[in-house]
Amino acid sequence: MAEHNASLKRQERESTDAEPSPKRSRPNESNTAGQEKPRHPTLWFDDGGIVLSAEHTLFRVHRSFLSLNSPIFRDLFSIPPRESASEDPEETWEGLPLIRMHDDDEDIVNLLTALYDRTYSLASQPIDVVAGLLRMSTKYEIGYLRNQAIKYLTPIYDLPNRNIVERYTATTRGVQFAPLIINTARETKTDFLIPGAFFFLAIQDINHIFERITKEERPRYRISMDDLQTCITGREALIKCNRETIYSFGSKKCGENTRCNSRMNTFVQSEVWKEHVADPNTTAVLDSAFWNDITVCGMCVETHRMSSRMGVRKVIDQVPGYFKFSDWDTLRKSTKGQPSQIK
């Protein structure tokens, strides 16, 4: 009976025309012939000569256009079909060659949109979309798109490049997708993005860091146990370096005013100071509110502020070392397609 029903359903499917119905997009029905998947609503060009079959969706595109943009597509399309291919529903779609893609639907949609839409602006996309485009443009060897993605991500994760001293409040932008960037950078040989992503992860609350392993289900957004270890070790090193470099002014004496010295002594005993010194976020000292808590003379405040700002730069310069990397310059040079120097 079940078999009879299945055969009826198959007939029903075959008898309807090519118009897709939403129920066909169910994942458990998707691993069979291309005809069972819905067409993408916009990335389906009637004059396209080839059909790409992603996990749940079909895309009808132009062979020559994609070949022009990507040598990988060109090679993929130049493989001659098997003799029996025209009868095999796995390899054709209504007579057109059907190419099975091993990418997520979302990745294909983003890539094709970036290629086809001339008004498409990478700059207005969220970080996860750009990370996906970096991965796809690397895989399909689309140089200009890869360079655009690198240019977008550079001022966020190449910490000395983003001028963090002036723009430290923007860190939240880099935090959310830090694990995704670590994984994507490894996959795309853009290692210079990794220390910055580790930094953003490491300055988080420790529970938040652990949640990136235990609560995240999407593999690309999760960090490995090795990376967790690197992150925690780097976090410890960061706190130590912050203490020695940025907060070293706590032990400095005022040459003008002896009251400053006793006030500073009291301040470095306070809970506020202890909390700051234990904070891995290197840039926290740049918050002007921090300085309101110290009641030393104006000249002391200015001197300490200046020295701590220089300390922040020093710590940022050393960030790769905390996370098992060499220096920033070596990392940048190892990237194919130089990261742009945005100041």
> Footprint of Zn ion on this chain (CB under 5 A)?
254, 257, 260, 296-297, 300
Nearer of residues 43 and 294 to Zn ion, judged by Cβ? 294
Nearer to Zn ion, 233 or 261 (CB): 261
CA dist 194 and 204 (Å) reads: 16
Our CB check for Zn ion shows the closer of 15 and 251 to be: 251
3-state secondary structure 131-146: HHHHHHHHHCCCHHHH
Whichever of 221 and 291 has its CB closer to Zn ion, that residue is 291
Strand partners, 39: 58
Please state the closest distance from residue 165 (CB atom) to Zn ion, in A: 24
Q: Which helix (H) or strand (E) element contains residue 59?
A: strand 58-61
Q: Taking the C-alpha atoms of 198, 203, 205 and 209 in order, what is their torsion angle to the nearest 10 degrees? A: 0
Which lies closer to Zn ion via its Cβ, residue 114 or residue 254? 254
> Is the CB of 277 or the CB of 297 nearer to Zn ion?
297
The amino acid that residue 281 corresponds to is N
Which SS3 state, helix, strand or coil, does residue 40 take?
Answer: strand
Nearest approach, Cβ of residue 244 and Zn ion (Å) = 22
Residues with Cβ < 8 Å from 141, sequence gap 6 or more?
A: 70, 71, 72
Q: Smallest distance, Å, CB 269 to Zn ion? A: 18
Q: What minimum distance in Å lies between the beta carbon of 142 and Zn ion?
A: 59
Backbone φ, ψ for residue 96 (5° rounding): -90, 150
In terms of Cα–Cα distance, which of 318, 246, 319 is closest to 283?
Answer: 246
8 or 299, CB closer to Zn ion? 299
Report, in Å, the least distance between residue 266 CB and Zn ion. Answer: 14
Q: CB 271 → Zn ion: shortest distance, Å?
A: 23
* Smallest distance from Zn ion to CB 265, Å: 12
Give SS3 for 99.
Answer: strand
Of 231, 297, 239, residue with least CA distance to 263:
297
> Could you tell me how far CA 56 lies from the centroid of its own chain?
24
Picking from 27, 194, 37, the residue whose alpha carbon sits closest to that of residue 202 is 194
Query: Measured from the CB of residue 291, what is the shortest distance to Zn ion in angstroms?
Result: 13
Q: What values do phi and psi take at 145, rounded to 5?
A: -70, -40
Give the total residue count for the chain.
343
Measured from the CB atom, is 182 or 264 closer to Zn ion? 264
State residue 216 phi and psi, 5-degree precision. -95, 120
